[in-house]
Amino acid sequence: MKFLKLPTNNLHEFILNLRKIGEVHIPIKKGEKSFVFRKTNEPEDISKIQLDYHRTILPLKKYFYHPTETMFEFSKTGFVQPEQSSDVHDIIFGVHACDIHGVLTLDLVFSGKYRDDYYFNRRKNVSLIGLSCMPDEFCFCNSMATDYVEIGFDLFLSEIPGAYIVRIGTSKGDDMLNLSGPLLEEITHNDIDAHKEYSLARKKAFKRFLDIRNLPEIMDLEYESNLWDELGNRCTSCGTCSMVCPTCYCYRIFDDINMDMESGKRRRQWDCCLFRDHAMVAGGHNFRQSRSDRFKHRWLHKQQSFAGVFGRPSCVGCGRCIEACPAKIDIVAESNKIQGAKNND
Amino acid sequence: MTNPYMPHLAKIIRIIPQIDDVRLFQIRLEDEKIRNEFRHRPGQFVMISVLGTGEAPISISSSPTRTGIIELCIRKAGKVTDALFRLKENAVIGIRGPYGNGYFMERIKGNNLLIVAGGIGMAPLRSLLWYSLDNRDDFKDIILMYGTKTPNEMLFKDELFSLLDRGDIKCLLTVDKDDTGTWKTNVGVVTRLFDMISLSPETTYAAICGPPIMYQFVLQKLIECGFSKNRIMMSLERRMQCGIGKCLHCSVGHKYTCTDGPIFTYWDVMNMQEVV
């Protein structure tokens, strides 16, 4: 892979140049402590960028997999799929490693024998530019082995004092750099040393740990543990953890009928396995009637079941679910507890 | 680009009442090419759309050997099936599929086949039944055991009675209770039928579908008879919404009922939580 150096002073101009080839989205401040990816409508918007943000409220799935969408329209005579192709090229700047892993995970889910083109028609028009980060108290990507990425980005910027080391992931990324040729420099041995130092400092900065190697087995053994009931009692089934999760992808499908009572739209909407009716079948039987069963199912799916299908857990350790939970359920601390480990073991 | 979520139009060509809340719908895909290309395996299901109401997964009751028409034996049990029961012959619905794995026909070939059904469980097994009878030479002995609560609740009654005289299948029908006084064959729960036959578990595959309580007792019986757990096939019921292994509504452990199932071996099922 090829590397170049982008001095921090040139970053603004670099992003400005990106606007020539697509719509650039950057992390900006939303509330006092919250961040979102937002499109830069004007060149001046670039100055709003928050380079030291930890996590956005919603992960990148909002770009490819909309909270609700029309799948097709129907009438008495048949089904029509609405035009979905778009020539817009979105460039999302400042994506952390965990979120890139999140997108790669959704790519797995929506591909396969039955390819979901609602997802891929949007996905193919989006470029990702990664950005290194220091963890806060919620991050546990190092435990999930998602703190570094090898694929899934067009460019990846790693911070060193006064500059970024730019890793070029794709030909598209190379094109982006060519727009900013004069802004870039060759990297030196000192830069490599600085990069390694950053990496070591980052490794030491993590405050929470989860041993995922025996977690599925322990969760299986502790399937009847009271801990799940306690957690079920605290959880309110609000679904926030799923909405903010980079790799939660459940959806429900339903029809919206027009006033003529004949035509309408088939739509889909993000769903959540914590919702009461998620595993309900016709006739009213519910395979996960109790909230503790649903809570257990969600975490088991993240850590165990998903791995059974796709080879690795779907959790990317971004910490969103812990930060966003209104009941303050800290799934990592609870997992530590079920594994019998004292915190920070 | 083909969109796997897009149903095809199909016409209800005949509705054959079965029992109170169960009807057999004969469906014909409107598009000739799609109709001719439609191939399914016994045990697979389709997603049916009643436009404006939504979609529901329904197992296919007709055998792949009888082409052109898809038969769906449906109990009125929810929103979509309620709407379907309001439709009349010639009404148009949406259909997509077939989905799921189906019974493991390649493995069953050359073996005895034991089919055990309870109540509405006959619906998916009827496809397997007629498939095996239409390919009779592929199997050794074929045994059907079917039980319902009362004679009036038995599905496909005429068709199944006609099997009683056939020499190439042992058809055992039973009712828990004969409240009509006219029932001429067995009375008692379906497990009682096991006393009437001798089985060779090493060369037999068993396919079971029925209510949870029936599974419990039939499984126990089969294990007592010496069946290996991977020779017992069960059909699981879940509310599939996508049918293509994505939406997660039908997940049981790390299996998707829609793509890994709905047919699972007892061994698979034993290793799952929240199965029934």
Q: What is the pLDDT of residues A73-96, one digit of tens each?
A: 999 888 888 877 666 789 999 999
User: Which of A115, A280, A305 shows the shortest C-beta gap to B251?
Assistant: A305
Per-residue pLDDT at A196:
96
Q: How far apart are CA B104 and CA B109, in angstroms?
A: 9
Per-residue pLDDT at A345:
41
Sequence-distant (≥ 6) Cβ neighbours of residue A236 within 8 angstroms: A326, A327
| Interchain CB distance below 8 Å, B247 and A251 | yes
Per-residue pLDDT at A284:
84
Disruptive mutation site among A69, A76, A81, A114 for chain B (greatest number of B CBs within 10 Å): A114
| Interchain CB distance below 8 Å, B274 and A78 | no
Other CB atoms closer than 10 Å to residue A5's CB: what's the count?
18
DSSP result, chain B: ---TT--EEEEEEEEEEEETTEEEEEEEESSHHHHHH----TT-EEEEEETTTEEEEEE--S-TTS-S-EEEEEE--SHHHHHHHH--TT-EEEEEEEES----HHHHTTSEEEEEEEGGGHHHHHHHHHHHHHTGGG-S-EEEEEEESSGGG-TTHHHHHTTTT-TT-EEEEEES--SSS---SEES-GGGGGGG----GGGEEEEEES-HHHHHHHHHHHHHHT--GGGEEEE-----SSSSS-S-TTEETTEETTTT-SEEEHHHHHT-SS--
Question: In which residue are the tokens 């165990």 written?
Answer: A304
The model's pLDDT over A184-242, given as tens digits with 9 standing for 90+, comes to 999 999 999 999 999 999 999 999 999 999 998 898 899 889 999 999 999 999 999 99
The nearest CA of chain A is from the CA of B119 a distance in Å of 15
Per-residue pLDDT at A85:
65
User: Which of A79, A305, A308 shows the shortest C-beta gap to B7?
Assistant: A79
Parallel/antiparallel/unpaired status of strands B142-148 and B112-118: parallel
**Cα nearest neighbour of A261 on chain B:** B52
Per-residue 3-state assignment (H helix, E strand, C coil) for B186-216: EECCHHHHHHHCCCCHHHEEEEEECCHHHHH
Contact yes or no for A25/A37 (Cβ under 8 A): yes
Would you state the structure tokens that stand for residue A241, as one six-digit string?
A: 């953890």
Would you state the structure tokens that stand for residue A77, as one six-digit string?
A: 């005579």
Residue-range domains of chain B with CATH? 8-99 (2.40.30.10), 105-235 (3.40.50.80)
| Interchain CB distance below 8 Å, A301 and B54 | no
Per-residue pLDDT at A6:
97
Q: Where are the domains of chain A?
A: 2-205, 215-338
User: Which of A81, A249, A297 shows the shortest C-beta gap to B3?
Assistant: A81
DSSP result, A292-344: HHHHHHHHHIIIIIHHHHHSS-S-----HHHHH-TT---HHHHHHHHTTPPTT
| Interchain CB distance below 8 Å, B274 and A279 | yes
For residue B246, list chain A residues with Cβ-Cβ distance below 8 A: 109-110, 114, 116, 249, 251
Return the amino acid letter for A323: E
The model's pLDDT over B142-187, given as tens digits with 9 standing for 90+, comes to 999 999 999 999 999 999 999 999 999 999 999 999 988 889 899 9
User: Which of B49, B244, B273 shows the shortest C-beta gap to A114?
Assistant: B244
The H or E element spanning position A90 is strand A90-95
